[in-house]
Copies of this chain bind each other. A is one copy, B any other.
């Protein structure tokens, strides 16, 4: 199959050779589907077709908000997969919609064959199952982190946690914020003016210093203290 190279970059097939992939895909009876720009690849609430892997193009995972507005959850690039969570749950419907932003080619993996018994009980198949376990639990842990953020009552605690994670990631007390104010506010689930106000208060108290996207942690212990 001509898409084999792309398929190999998919985390699901990490540690699998192209030869193994060829064998497996033959077993899977794969169907490549094509979509035009602005066409829906999946529709939230509709019947689940199998785990999708984006082969070419660009697509957006979207969800409808309470207010009925579409929010982009994630952008998909070739090699990315979607629907891996819904695949093994009881309720076999798409938890989100996927919208093609460009012409896209997608392959769907039937979940029953994936988890089901391979007659040959081949090693690659087991590797794939292990990958799947690690992927999904990774996703679950990521969601746990999100819950931790949202469960924080005070805005200051959210900001502090956010800054500390960034500090940990970048390694220096002075660094650039990876997002604009608006995006940070969205991520922390607060309004932008509230974020600005609180950041300025923290600056007044000598905890941090900043200008636009460049920020410096002036009182690290204090910052940690806020998050407990």
| Alpha-carbon distance A189/B147, docked complex (angstroms) | 11
Contact of B153 with A150 in the complex, beta carbons under 8 Å: no
Q: Is the CB of A189 within 8 A of B151?
A: yes
Is the Cβ of B143 less than 8 Å from the Cβ of A66? no
A171: B residues at CB distance < 8 A: none
CA distance A150 to B68 in the complex (A): 15
Q: Tally A residues with Cβ within 8 Å of B.
A: 50
What's the least CB distance linking A156 to chain B, in Å? 9
Which of these binds chain B: A127-135, A176-184, A195-203?
A127-135
Interface mask (A57-81 → B, CB under 8 Å = 1, otherwise 0):
0000001011111010100000000
With both beta carbons as reference points, the residue of chain B lying nearest to A127 in the complex is identified as: B117
- Expressed in whole angstroms, the minimum distance between the Cβ of A227 and any Cβ of chain B is 5
Q: Which residues does chain B contribute within 8 Å of A69, judged by CB atoms? A: 153
